[in-house]
């Protein structure tokens, strides 16, 4: 039995070292594979219970191999904005393009640490190996709704619609205009001053609000009236008046000189003295216009002898097309339009699991959650236990070629030694056979 157990132990040693060599070969073969996580083989002794103190039976060895998913490789830069890598813990959610295109329900979520994603003919971000990047879609305002994070059901393939037109209607304006104080003096000519402010309507068309200021000229006396009538008309309503206000300015020596003293609403939305806002209704809806808080600088002023539109600002943008995209460290996918508008269109979460090494390895450097890996959670990048998403980056293979070659040498020696054990046992059995002769 002792000789037989020696033979079995030698065979077990050959098998174990062959398995280790297979793992080493896999690691070396993937030394240039982005996102590859190396396999590691461990030996475990088997102990056979002896029949007595004078005898010993070799139990041999068994082997186990696991993928070290938690150990990543170094990160290198690239030139593609949608080359992504994870710095720190967490994995990018992806799905097989075949499953997505089949449309048979929610595709199986797979995880990867890096990927080179580029838009296909339909605008979906996918890798050359057929993986589609998954994320949470934003709403029309660029906000990410509160999706459930303990399931992948809300994830969708990230799509860049390069033909998408995007524009924002104007809803707010700020008027920073100086009116000439000489215009409200005795003997002034009473000439009106006008300006026009462009706005974008709900369907991306450009319209304008015409604003005229007519001074109230005193009939007699030495004091200025400091009073102007402001009339607003809308080009989208054929010049209809949408607001008319009497604005009076202060003329004292204090810090508030030249600022608004009071505003009287003649028509249109009521002026709010606490905010300096008034609301007028253009054809496409209400627009809030800030003309300044009474007694405070900014907005409308009356100083000197010059009419000067100093600071006119508004929101809203004309319709434009998508020019480029970028992914920030929080995983937000931002679309940049040729009009200068930036909009968030997706958020890529990072998936974290209690035991990443327990995931099931799949093709193309992807992994599938399992019972051994534990329940996953889709975190915002940079929050909780997760790291950051790096754009223009790839993660290299975790293989250390020098270390693998060293392990190969020791494996070869161990294999040869086990083969020598088998050869020795064979010679001993031959001697036993020769006793009969």
| pLDDT reported for residue 195 | 96
The CATH code that applies to domain 170-315 is 2.60.98.20
| pLDDT reported for residue 46 | 82
End-to-end Cα, the chain, rounded Å: 22
Note the pTM of the prediction, 2 decimals. 0.72
State the 10-residue block means of pLDDT for the chain, 437 residues long. Answer: 78 90 95 94 82 71 91 95 96 94 88 95 92 94 92 93 73 96 92 95 91 92 89 96 96 90 96 96 96 94 94 87 90 88 92 95 95 95 94 95 94 92 85 77
| pLDDT reported for residue 330 | 96
């Amino acid at each position: 039995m002792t000789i037989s157990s020696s033979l079995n132990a030698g065979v077990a040693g050959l098998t174990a070292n062959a398995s280790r060599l297979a793992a080493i070969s896999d690691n070396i073969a993937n030394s240039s594979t982005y996102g590859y996580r190396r396999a590691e083989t461990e030996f475990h002794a088997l102990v056979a219970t002896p029949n007595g103190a004078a005898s010993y039976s070799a139990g041999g060895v068994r082997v186990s191999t696991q993928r070290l998913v938690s150990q990543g490789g170094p990160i290198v830069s690239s030139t593609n904005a949608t080359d992504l890598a994870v710095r720190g813990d967490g994995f990018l959610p992806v799905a097989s393009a075949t499953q997505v295109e089949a449309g048979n329900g929610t595709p199986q979520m797979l995880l990867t640490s890096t990927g080179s994603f580029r838009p296909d003919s339909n605008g979906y971000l996918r890798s050359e190996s057929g993986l589609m990047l998954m994320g949470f879609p934003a709403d029309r305002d660029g906000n990410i709704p509160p999706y459930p994070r303990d399931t992948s059901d809300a994830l969708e393939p990230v799509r860049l619609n390069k033909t998408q037109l995007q524009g924002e209607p104007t809803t707010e304006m700020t008027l920073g205009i100086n009116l000439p104080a000489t215009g409200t003096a005795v003997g002034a000519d009473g000439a009106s001053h006008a300006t026009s402010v462009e706005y974008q309507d709900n369907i991306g068309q450009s319209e304008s609000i015409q604003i005229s200021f007519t001074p109230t000229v005193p009939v007699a006396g030495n004091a200025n009236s400091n009073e102007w009538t402001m009339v607003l008309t809308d080009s989208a309503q054929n010049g209809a008046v949408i607001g008319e206000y009497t604005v009076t300015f202060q003329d004292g020596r204090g810090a508030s000189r030249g600022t608004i003293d009071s505003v009287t609403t003649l028509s249109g939305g009521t002026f709010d003295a606490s905010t300096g806002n008034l609301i007028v209704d253009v054809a496409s809806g209400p627009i809030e216009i800030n003309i300044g808080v009474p007694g405070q600088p900014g907005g409308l002023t009356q100083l000197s002898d010059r009419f000067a539109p100093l600071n006119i600002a508004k929101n809203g943008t004309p319709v434009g097309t998508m020019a480029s995209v970028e992914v920030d460290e929080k995983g937000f996918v931002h679309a940049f339009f040729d009009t200068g508008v930036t909009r968030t269109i997706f958020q890529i979460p990072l998936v974290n699991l209690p035991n990443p090494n327990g995931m099931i390895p799949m093709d193309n450097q992807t992994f599938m959650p399992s019972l051994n890996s534990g329940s996953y959670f889709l975190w915002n990048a940079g929050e909780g236990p997760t790291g950051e998403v790096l754009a223009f980056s790839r993660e290299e293979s975790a293989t250390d070629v020098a270390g693998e070659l060293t392990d190969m040498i020791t494996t070869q020696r161990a294999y040869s030694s086990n083969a020598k054990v088998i050869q020795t046992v064979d010679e001993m059995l031959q001697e036993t056979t020769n006793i009969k002769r």
